[in-house]
Structure 1
Amino acid sequence: MARLHLHLLSDSTGETLEMIAKAALAQFDGADVTRHFWPMVRSKQHLDRILQDFTANPGLVLFTLANPETRGHLEERCRTLGLPHVAVLDTVTHALAERLGQEAHSRPGARHVMDEAYFRRVDAIQFTIAHDDGIGWENWEEADIVLAGVSRTSKTPTSIYLANRGFKVANIPLVVESPPPTSLFRLRGPMVVGLTTAPKRLIQIRRNRLLSLNEKAQTAYVDESRVEKELSFARRMFADNGWAVIDVTRRSIEETAAAVIKLHQERAARDTPPQSGPKPI
C-alpha cells in the first residue's frame, strides 16, 4: 500500500481538524499515512510557504479556513497541483445555515473565542489538576464529577479530558488498606463514577508502568490474586453506594470520557423538573 501524505490546514489551533482526521483514519486498517499539520494559517504569505511542502509531498488536503481570500488561494493552488482538497466543515455548516435560516460567520477559530465557556473550561482544568489522585477531598462537593477506581484505571487522563470539556473533576484511587475519606460517601452535588477493568489487562498495564520506571516487574502491585482482590473491593464499593460503573478494559480515554458525559447528561435530565406548559382547556 502506497504511503498517503495527509495535509491538515487550519486557521486556528487545528484541534477540530485533527479529531476529524483521527476518527476517519480509524476506519482503515494498516493505512500508511504521514500527517503534515499546519495550524494558525491566516495569510496568503503563510500559505505560500506551506504550499512548497505540498509540491514535495503531494497528497490529500483537509482544511478549515474561514477567510475567503486565503481559502480561495488554497483551492486554486490545489487545483493547479492536481491535489484533492476537502473543506471538512462545509457540509455541516451548510446544513445548519439552511435549517437556521442564516449565513455562517467567517470567523477563524470561532470556537476558541474567550467567552464564558472558555473561562469555565480554564476553571475546570485548574480544579481538576488540583484534585487529582485524592488531593483536596475537602472541596469535592464543588466538583461536577468524581472518578473512583483502583490504580491504573485511567482516572487521571480521563479527568483531564473531561476538564477540557468544561467539567470539574476530582479522582480518588481506591486502596484496600486505606479506605477513602468518608466525605466521598456523603457527596450530593457531584456524580460519582466507578472505573473498573479486567484483571489481566490491569496487570499488563501495571507491569508496563513498572518497566517504564525501571522497577521490579514482580511485586504485589501485579500479583494476580492481589489485583483481583483490589477490583473486587472496588466493585463492592460501587454497588454498595449505587454509583454508575464503566468498564475501561476496551475503551480509549475518549470513549470512557464520552460514556461519563452521557451519564452526566442523563443525570442532569432526571434532576431537571419538567417545564409547566399551558393547562389544557
Structure 2
Amino acid sequence: MSRSFFHLHLVSDSTGETLINVGRAAAVQYEGISAIEHVYPLVRSAAQLERVISEIEAAPGLVLYTLVEEALNARLEAACRESGSPCLSVLQPVHSLLQSYLGVETKARPGAQHMLNAEYFKRIDAMNFTFAHDDGNLPDNLEEADVILVGVSRTSKTPTSIYLANRGLKTTNYPLVPSAPFPPQLLKVRKPLVVGLLASPERIVQIRQNRLLSLHADEGSLYVDRDAVAEELAASRRLCLKHKWPIIDVTRRSIEETAAAILDLYKEHRLRLVAL
C-alpha cells in the first residue's frame, strides 16, 4: 500500500517533548499516512517565531503549538490562517479546564515543567544509579534499588531500566546466563521490586541473530539455537515462579508498555511494604 505524507509543524517555547509525543501518538493512528515532522523548540521571541512562520509558509501543513505568551500565540494563529495551515494550541483545552475547576488564573511561564525541583534531581539520581548498575553490575547494597529486572539476554532489560530511571526509579538489571550461579543476595531483597522479563523463543532468537550479524560474529552457537533459547526461558520462568516474582512477557510490548506495567506493579509493591 502506498503511503501519503503531510507536514506537521511542532512549535514550542520549551523542549518540544510534549508536542512530539502528542503529535506522534495521534499521527500513528492513521494507517498509510506519515507525518513529516518540523520541530521548533525554545521559541520565545518574535524574531524566533518569524523564522518558524517562514518555514510553515514554505511547507504548509498542520501546526501544533505550546506557546504561553499571548502575543506569540496571536501572531502564529494569524500566520497560519493566511497560509491555510490549521493550528491548535495543545495545552489550551487543559489550561481552560484547570482554570474553570480551580478558579485561578494561569501564569505564563515557558518551560515551567522543566524547572529544577526535587523531582528533577530524583530523576537524575535514578539515571546515574541505573547507568552504574546495568547488565549485572549490582550495587553493594541492593536495597538501594527500587526495581530489579531479571531475564535472559535480549529481553530489553537495559532500555526498560533507563526508561524507569527517567521516571525516577533506581533500576538495576541482571542477565540470566545458563550455568552461571545466581547471586544469592538477589533472593534476600525486601525493598526492591524484582520483575522477570520473558519473550517468545522465536523473538529472542531473531533479536540475537540480528545482534550477531551487527557484530559479524558466528551464528552457529547455542546463543541462537531455538531449543537452547527455549530452555533458557523455561528456566527463567521457573526461577520467577519459585520466588513469586511477577513476570512480564515483552514479546509484543514496546519499552513504554513494559515500563508502564512495571510502574503499576511497583505502586502495589510499595503499598504492601507500607502495610507491613
TM-score scaled to structure 2, two decimals? 0.95
| 1:90-112 CA distance string (max 9 Å, x none) | 22222122222222222111110
- Matches of 2:47 and 2:117, distance apart in 1: 30
Query: Is contact 2:6–2:34 with CA below 8 Å preserved after alignment?
Result: yes
Query: Is contact 1:7–1:61 with CA below 8 Å preserved after alignment?
Result: yes
Matched residues, number: 274
- Matches of 1:185 and 1:166, distance apart in 2: 24
| 1:47-90 CA distance string (max 9 Å, x none) | 11111111111000011111222222111211122210011122
| 1:114-169 CA distance string (max 9 Å, x none) | 00011111000000000100103423210111111100000000010111111110
Match of 1:92 in 2: 94
Mapping 1:221-232, distance limit 5 Å = 221-232=223-234
Query: Is contact 1:148–1:171 with CA below 8 Å preserved after alignment?
Result: yes
Mapping 1:1-281, distance limit 5 Å = 2-273=4-275
Output the aligned Cα RMSD.
Answer: 1.5
* Cα 1:20–1:47 shift into 2, 3 Å: same
Query: Is contact 1:144–1:168 with CA below 8 Å preserved after alignment?
Result: yes
- Matches of 2:24 and 2:207, distance apart in 1: 24
Query: Is contact 1:137–1:181 with CA below 8 Å preserved after alignment?
Result: no
The one-letter code of the counterpart of 2:136 is G
% of aligned pairs identical? Answer: 50
Offset, 1:2: 4.0
The one-letter code of the counterpart of 1:238 is C
* Cα 1:73–1:112 shift into 2, 3 Å: same
Query: Is contact 2:4–2:32 with CA below 8 Å preserved after alignment?
Result: no
Match of 1:277 in 2: none
- Matches of 1:95 and 1:271, distance apart in 2: 36
* Cα 1:273–1:185 shift into 2, 3 Å: closer
The one-letter code of the counterpart of 1:8 is L
The one-letter code of the counterpart of 2:167 is R
The one-letter code of the counterpart of 2:230 is E
- Matches of 1:48 and 1:105, distance apart in 2: 24
In structure 1, the gaps of 5 or more residues are: 275-281
TM-score scaled to structure 1, two decimals? 0.94
